[in-house]
Structures are given as C-alpha cells and as structure tokens.
A and B are shown apart, each in its own frame.
Chain A
Amino acid sequence: MPVANWRHFKSVSLGLLIRVASFTVIFALLGMVVQMMVVAAPIFAASTLERIDAPDGGRGVPVSRAESQDADLRQPIYWVSKGGWQLIGNPGNPWLWVHDQTAVRLNVTELPSDFSIAQMVGHQRGLAVLVGNRLEHFHFSQSTSINDVPAVERVKTVLVDSDIVALAGHPRLAVVALATSLSEIQVVDFRNPDATLRIQVDVEIDTIAWVSPSLIRALTPSGDAVLFVFRATDIGGDWRRLFSPTQYEGYPSEEYLWLPLPSAQAAESKYSVTPLIFGTLKAALLALLFSVPLSLGCAIYVGCFMSEAQRQRVRPAIDMLTAFPTVVLGAIGLFWLAPRFGEFLSALIGVIALFPILAVLGIFGVRALGWRWVRHDALDDWPLRLLPLVLLVIVLGAAAGLIGAAQLPGGSLEAYLLSTGLSISYFNSLLVGIVLGLAITPTIFSIAEEAIHAVPRNMAAGALALGSTPWQSYRDVVLPLALPGMIAAIMVGFGRAAGETMILVMLSGNTGILDLSIFEGLRSVSASLALELPEAPKKSSHYQVLFVMGVLLFGLTFIVNTVAEIIRSRVRMRVRGL
C-alpha cells in the first residue's frame, strides 16, 4: 500500500530529523563550553624561554631600547621623575636623588650602595639591583614637583647565582634577564621567583638586552648576537594571581585589582578576578534578600490560599513577567530609582516596618466595622477585594517612612546618613539588589508555586478534617513537603541573578572594589564580560582572562541550576506517591 509506505516514510524521516536536530543542539552546546575552555586555556601556560636562530645572527633586529639600556649602564642616571628628580647610582657609592634644576642632592638610604649591577625594570617604576647573590626589586612613587621626593620601597628579594655578569629589565613586566659567567641565560620573574627559566648557551655572553617584550638579545664579547624568545602571559603562568592578592608594580602592598589595559602595551595589566566574583555574589545575595520574602510569600498565597479559578488567571500573568526584559528594569532603575534613591529607601523602610502592623490593624478594624467582604477566609475567592487595603497600607507605610525621614536631623535619610559619616554612592549595591531582586522574583515565584501546588490537596484536606486550622495544615503538612522545591526555586533565582548582565552594567557603577558596604558600588563578572569582551584584542591575556571568567560563571550557574533541578525532580517523585 503506497499510502502506508508514505506514512511510514514520513514517520521515520521526521523522527530522524528531530533526533539529528536535538543531537546537534546538545553537541553544539557542549562544543561551546569546550570552545570557551580552549580559548581560556593559554592564560595558564607557563612562561617559556627558547633560543631562536636569526638569519643574520640577530644583527638586523632593531635594538633602540636595548641600546638605550646599554647607555644606562654607562650613564649613572637611572630614572627621572615628572618633578625632575633624577636617580643617580654608581657601584660602590650611595644612591642619590638629584634635582635637575636646583641641583639639590639627597642620599637614597633605602637603596644598597654595595651593588654591582642595577637596571630599570618594568614600566618605568622599578629598579632591579644586584648585590652579591641577592637580586632586589624596588619601586618608586611618581612625583610631580620638587617638594615631593619620590619614595623608594623594596618589593622583593630573590636569591640568584653569584656569578651574574649582565642584567636587563623587561620593558613592561617585573621580569629580568640575567647572564652568568658560565654562559647561562636566566629569566627571573619577580612575581613568581620559583619559576626561573634557564637556558645554556655555548658561547660567552657579556651583554644582554630586551629588544622587545618577548625578545632577548645577548651579545658575545666579539659582538655576535644570540636571540632568545621569552613568552609569558600577563599572569606569568601562575593561576593563583587571578584569585589571590598580588604585589603589583608601584603599589605599597598586595592588592586585588581588576585594571585591564587592552591597548596600553607599556603598562602592566592587573587581572584579579576576585573582586568581580565577589561583586557577582554580593549582587546575587542582595537580590535574594529582596526577592525571597516577596516571591515565596506570593507563592504560598497563590499555592495555598487562592482558589483554583483565580490561580489559573494569576499564574500565567506572573509567568509572563519572567520574560520581562531586564534592560527595561535597568532603565527604570537608572532613570527613576537612582535619582531619588534616598526617598525610595525611606519609603521602603517605612513600608517594611509598618506593613505587618498596619495590615493586621486594617483587617481587624474593617471587620470591627462589620464589613463582611474582608472575612479572612473569603479572601481566596476574590483577592482584588484586598487590593484597596494593601494599597492603603503601602501608601501609609511609605508616607510614614518619608515623614519619619524628614524628622531625622538633616531633613532626609541621605543627609542623616551623611552626618553619621556614611555617604551613599549613586550607583550602589542596594540599588542593584532591589532591581535585580525584582527581576528574579517571577522566576522564584513560578518554581516555588509549582512545588507548593504539586502537593496533593487531599493532604491539607485530611489535616483540616482532623481538626487543624487552615494555617496549621499548610504550615505542618503542605509547606514541609514543598520546602525542597522552594529551595530549588531560590537556587534557580540565584543562578539567574549571578548571570544577569544588563542591570549590573547600568546600575552597579562597575567599580571593582572589595567592600561589604551595601552603599558602595560593585563590579560583576557578567558586566565585565559585556563591557570588555567586544574590545579585547584576540589572543591577548585580557581576552583569555575574560574567557576564564566566562567559564567560571558558566560553572557556577550550571552547578546551581543542576542541583536545583535534581532537588525538583526528587520532590516530584516524592509527592507523586501521595
């Protein structure tokens, strides 16, 4: 029968098509994750040093930087500050600050006078000094005037072989190249002194210089050149620098800093992802703080108290809010909430403080007047009847908050906090938490309500029949069964808040500070990705670090969502038997 064959063919081919399509999607998603990891991986590569052969023995390589460094060795001026202070050093003599116009001379007691070789290292701010077998790294502070003598600070001391004959500082990083009398070339990374790179050559070396940030040229006494390629990522092959406090050039102490400099090749970029992860967690937890009471309260009301007919209308409406574009919420926060944040905060405090009291008073008051439509057990059928009361309570609470704030010394909440020494940043974590909390409320509500609704109604009915009050039956029977589902809902909400981008870009101020204060800004992983990824040069360390953060963010939301999904499916299994 041709018809049957056609049907058979259609069924087989459609089935095959669907299988292939879904397999492709799953495979593509997995591939994307793998791709992200592949892009990110080179950042963890260890630094390498290898000898290369140049066609003409390296003589054709332009060496402007190297020659100026050779000149540094003969000329005792090492560094000149913007204020005109020159650092002058001669082996065996004390170091001096000499002002170029007034010729004022000051001894630099912080620097050792018994050094054999000294070279500038890094981005015009560091000095590497070799004293015996101690290689010491110093920083200067920039100074712009004659009144301000640059400060000198020892950063690190590294022990090296004692037979060093030449030394050259990397033009950008805290890295030095050394040549020993035994014809060994070493590259010491002050940031990671354990990982010294060594390479043995067969000729005698007496001069060494950096031709470019990745090329070292060593010269033999007869003038022959040997070239070495030094490859290092901006974190110097040490993954801990992404997460732990790091000593950067020109800073007095170890810091967590996120200061990428995509196009300024001259300066050291700082990639500490800790402040960003901290910002992401801070924003997500603050969002939960606002969202959990709202969404779970709402879910308990809709799931337990509302009649089925009403629920059928309310749920889709809130479900639709799940898809509300967060950029619109961000814009509302930016244009409406942020400019009057002080007033909003006072009103919010008033509502939160007065809501329970006013709500209870309102219901009892109305019932005392004999208005039957607010019998508490009748509310389920027509919740809109409660709306005027709720609105009234919110308006009263907000008014009370605003009036209360006006009574504070200074006349407003902001002024009062200011007098106590607390200044609210325009873009602050609390603002982010409120708007982000609103954004994730529908999601948490939707999943939590589903969990509550999945508990069979006859459980509650049984409890009621045995004499418990409605609230007792929900509290002791329904909610404990739904609790894992509600926890799962909170976790999904957390995952959404952690991955949310637009609200963070618009409202967080993007300040990468580690500060627990809710009145300070924050910088999240997602916002950094959105702001920097489009501009980061491909294959740069910046690009790779951004992908590391992408993988971390993916991992975080993946784990949280997976655990939540496992909890949810377990709950479904459990209540199915009831």
Chain B
Amino acid sequence: MKRLFRRFFVVSVLVSSSLVWAQSDDESDRSLIIVGSDTLAKVVTAWAEQFYVLNPTVLVEVQAVGSAATPPALLLGTATIGTMSRRMNADERDAFAVRRQRPPIEISLAVDAVVLIVHQQNPLKSVSMAEVGQIFGMPGTCGSSMRPIVWRDLREDSPLANRKIQVFGRTATSGTYQYFRRIALCDGDPGIFVNEIPGGAGIVNTVARVPGGIGYTATSYTSNDVKILGIERPDGRILYPDDPEYPLKRTLYLYLMTDVSSESRSIECEFVAYVASEKGRDLLINAGFSIPQVPDSQSARGVADACG
C-alpha cells in the first residue's frame, strides 16, 4: 500500500514537474531522466523510487522503451542516463563522440545469463554449444545433422536411456527466445518439437517435474528444483553461468551523457553512487542479475568514486 502510494506520488510529482520544469530553469538541473532497456526496467524503476526517497528534491523519470532509444536520447540530451541490454555499436559511439567531443561514459551494470536446466535427478552435468544447437534447433541448426531424440543419443551412459529428451523453451515473443535463437541456435530456427511455455518461471516449474526434460531460462528464474548445466568448451573446460567466459551471457550497460568526473556532486553522479551502494546492488541481485567483474573504470563503483 505504502509502495503503491509512493509510486503514485512519484508519478504525480513527475507530471507537475514537467510544468514546473518548463517554467523555471534553475530547477531543471535537479531532475534526472533515465531512458532505455526494457530488461532493466523493473530494477531501474526500483532504483528511481528509492533514490527519490533519499533525495526528495530530485525528480526522477524512467522511460523503458527499449535499448534502441538510448543512443539518440543521450546524443540529443533528452536524457542524461541511458540503459542498454547490448553495447553501443560503433556508429552510435561515433555519433556521440562527434557531437560531444568525447565518448559516452559506459558502465557495465549487470550480467544476465541464459542457463540450461535439467531435472534434479538427471546426472548430466554439461553440454557443448553444438549439442545445445542439436537439442533445441531444427535439424541442420549450427551445422548439426543429427538430433538426439532420446537421452542415450546424447550420452551413451545416461540412466534415462530411452526416455525422450523433452525440450522446453519460451514463446516466440519473448526476448530470451530471441536471444537464445541468435546465440545458441546460430540464428537458425528452434525445432517445432520444442514445447513453448509462457514465462521463464513456467519452464523452471515444468523441468522440475519432468525427469527427461531440458529447458532454457534466464538465471533470475532458476530455483533449487532444477539443475543448471555447465557449457563444455571444445577444449574440455566446463563453464558455469558465474564464469566470465560463459557463452550465453550478456552484459547490460548504463551510459552517462555528462562527464561526471569534471562536475562534482552532479545528480547523475549521486545516482550512480546510489546504484553502486549496497542497497542498489541488493535491488539488482534480488531482480536476478549478477554484478559484472570489470575493471574499476567501467564499474558503477569506480565511476562514482571518480566523480565524488
């Protein structure tokens, strides 16, 4: 109830702020507009709410319209902070650099991994990317010709033997599906035999009940009822989702328009400091993301320290 009230309050403040902002110039530097990724929308909104509680004089506006909106917004200055679920590409970077005489400040904000899950009792520990393509894709995906139908086809000694490999995936409208299709299936088609389950949590619940099941989902949905598979590299090393080289992993980024190191105590800087604080990190981790292991200059902590 309190939360709901607060949310309403933020919204109403935002509406009135736009009027105030239009009138008085000196207030404008006390507002913060965050544009960008839909993947991060929940976390960023939570951050904005908490940040507003800590800094009641700052007006925070969040627009989660998708990563593609970030570069133009930062370029034109309609937002000072942008989030993206992919890295800015060279063209976007160049355009920014030409206009602002320097590249945008990039923070590796969070890591979101897609994991492969099987039933707890399945002794399978890892699969290779080629096998992932065979299991989930149409015959011929990533150059594979044979699709393993039963578990023995995949691992000769699997105790599941003749049990069918039951494959569970997301529906075509899901972002995880698109990502999985692009990376794990070499941009090929997922097999028509894949059971489409609406929702990442649904896949976890289903795989937890199906001994011969295998599925993919975002890390944030996994539970103890399922086993997370490692991914075996050609050289034999097995990578788990917390490994920096895990292949089904994407970093989510935060971009700053202003050069925070030159302006002391700017709102952007305070916001980044909040994001890097324990509370901010907790919100991020609770939403199922993990903190990327990057050099200080690219982390929220490092950037916040540099401008403090």
> A: which residues have CB within 8 A of B?
81-83, 123-124, 141-145, 148, 150, 250-252, 257-264, 266-267, 270, 275, 338-339, 418-419, 421, 423-427, 505, 509-513, 521, 523, 531-532, 534-536
Contact = CB atoms under 8 A, between A and B. Distances in A.
A534 B187 CA distance: 24
B147 interface: no
Nearest to B162: A418
Interface in B171-216: 171-173, 178, 181-182, 186-190, 192-198, 206, 209-210, 212-213
Contacts of A270: 189
Which 7 A-B pairs rank lowest in CB-CB distance, beginning with the nearest? A535-B173, A423-B164, A143-B143, A509-B195, A510-B196, A426-B210, A148-B143
B130 interface: yes
Given A142-B141, A510-B171, A531 B198 contact: yes
B142 interface: yes
B186 A82 contact: yes
Nearest to B234: A145
Contacts, number: 107
B162 A423 contact: yes
A259 B187 CA distance: 13
Nearest to A123: B187
Given A82-B186, A338-B209, A260 B192 contact: no
Contacts of B213: 426
A15 to B, nearest CB: 46
Contact of B172 (A143, A259, A424, A511): A259
Nearest to B172: A260
A423 B171 contact: no
A262 B173 contact: yes
Given A264-B181, A266-B187, A511 B193 contact: yes
A512 B138 CA distance: 13
Most buried by A among B143, B181, B186, B198: B143
A532 B164 contact: no
Given A261-B172, A423-B164, A82 B195 contact: no
Contacts of B196: 509-511, 523, 531
23 contacts: A81-B143, A124-B187, A142-B141, A142-B142, A142-B188, A252-B140, A259-B172, A259-B190, A261-B172, A264-B181, A264-B182, A266-B187, A267-B187, A338-B209, A423-B150, A425-B164, A426-B213, A427-B195, A510-B195, A511-B194, A521-B195, A523-B196, A532-B171
B53 to A, nearest CB: 33
B213 to A, nearest CB: 7
A183 to B, nearest CB: 35
A264 B209 CA distance: 32
Most buried by B among A123, A263, A419: A263
A523 to B, nearest CB: 8
A82 B192 contact: no
A418 to B, nearest CB: 5
A423 B153 CA distance: 14
Contacts of A150: 143
B140 A141 contact: yes
Contacts of A512: 192
Contacts of A251: 138, 140
Nearest to B188: A142
A275 B213 CA distance: 23
A426 B166 contact: yes
B163 interface: yes
Contacts of B161: 418
Contacts of B212: 423, 426
A339 B209 CA distance: 6
Nearest to A139: B140
Contact of B163 (A257, A418, A532): A418
